[in-house]
């Protein structure tokens, strides 16, 4: 088992904001069961701020702690601030994660951003905040590999781009 620090353990043992908002303004899901991590975030927006945010996560201790931390950090932020939240910041707030668990933290902020993008896509009058993946995001993102040929898997593609085998998601 990886050695998680006390803060990660605390957020894993007592996760904040677990659940699903019934009348959510936006929903975002990232990850896939092949890799063992799946996160769904729901958000409620009021006056351009994240009034409420909840998560549901299928995954390891790190994935749960990261989700929990993201909801806590993002609550109360403006949409623009929340879109600027990086996975690296989340990992730092948790006092660091084991190296082979960094890809879990890379899912957390992405799920939040997806939920926000989902919210914005319904609001044509608000300019969509573009966010490009930074180099930091990509660090440690290696992790989910094709079970057949070992090459890197890409989220959202239902087959392995290298060996062409179907990946059940």
Q: Which residues are designated catalytic?
A: 35, 104
Member of 16, 52, 60, 139 binding other proteins (CB under 8 A): 60
Q: What share of the chain is helix, strand, coil (3-state, %, to 5)?
A: 35, 20, 45
Q: Which stretch binds other proteins (CB under 8 A): 15-23, 74-82, 88-96, 125-133?
A: 15-23
**C-alpha to C-alpha distance for 28 and 12, rounded to whole angstroms:** 21
Instruction: Determine contact, residues 28/117, Cβ cutoff 8 Å.
Output: yes
3-state SS assignment for residue 62: helix
Rule CB under 8 A: say whether 40 interacts with other proteins: yes
Residue nearer to other proteins on the CB measure, 16 or 84: 16
Rule CB under 8 A: say whether 145 interacts with other proteins: yes
Member of 24, 53, 64, 91 binding other proteins (CB under 8 A): 64
Start-end of H helices in the chain: 6-13, 61-74, 79-84, 87-93, 102-121, 135-138
Rule CB under 8 A: say whether 58 interacts with other proteins: yes
**C-alpha to C-alpha distance for 21 and 52, rounded to whole angstroms:** 8
Member of 61, 75, 91, 112 binding other proteins (CB under 8 A): 61
Rule CB under 8 A: say whether 69 interacts with other proteins: no
The backbone torsions φ and ψ at residue 66, rounded to the nearest 5 degrees and listed phi first, read -65, -45
Residues that bind other proteins (CB under 8 A): 1, 12-13, 15, 18-20, 29, 33-40, 56-64, 100, 103, 143-145, 147, 168
């Amino acid at each position: 088992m990886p050695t998680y620090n006390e803060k990660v353990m605390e957020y894993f043992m007592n996760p904040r904001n677990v659940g699903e908002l019934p009348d959510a303004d936006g929903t975002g899901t990232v990850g896939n069961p092949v890799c063992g991590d799946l996160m769904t975030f729901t958000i409620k927006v009021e006056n351009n701020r994240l009034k409420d945010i909840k998560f549901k996560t299928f995954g390891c201790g790190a994935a749960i702690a990261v989700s929990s931390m993201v909801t806590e950090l993002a609550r109360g932020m403006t949409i623009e601030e929340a879109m600027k939240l990086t996975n690296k910041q989340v990992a730092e707030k948790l006092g660091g994660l084991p190296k082979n668990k960094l890809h879990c933290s890379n899912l957390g902020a992405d799920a939040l951003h997806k939920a926000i993008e989902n919210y914005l896509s319904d609001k044509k009058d608000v300019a969509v905040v573009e966010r490009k993946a930074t180099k930091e995001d990509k660090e440690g993102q290696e992790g989910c590999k094709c079970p057949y040929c070992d090459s890197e898997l890409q989220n959202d593609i239902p087959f392995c781009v290298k060996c062409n085998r179907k990946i059940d998601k």
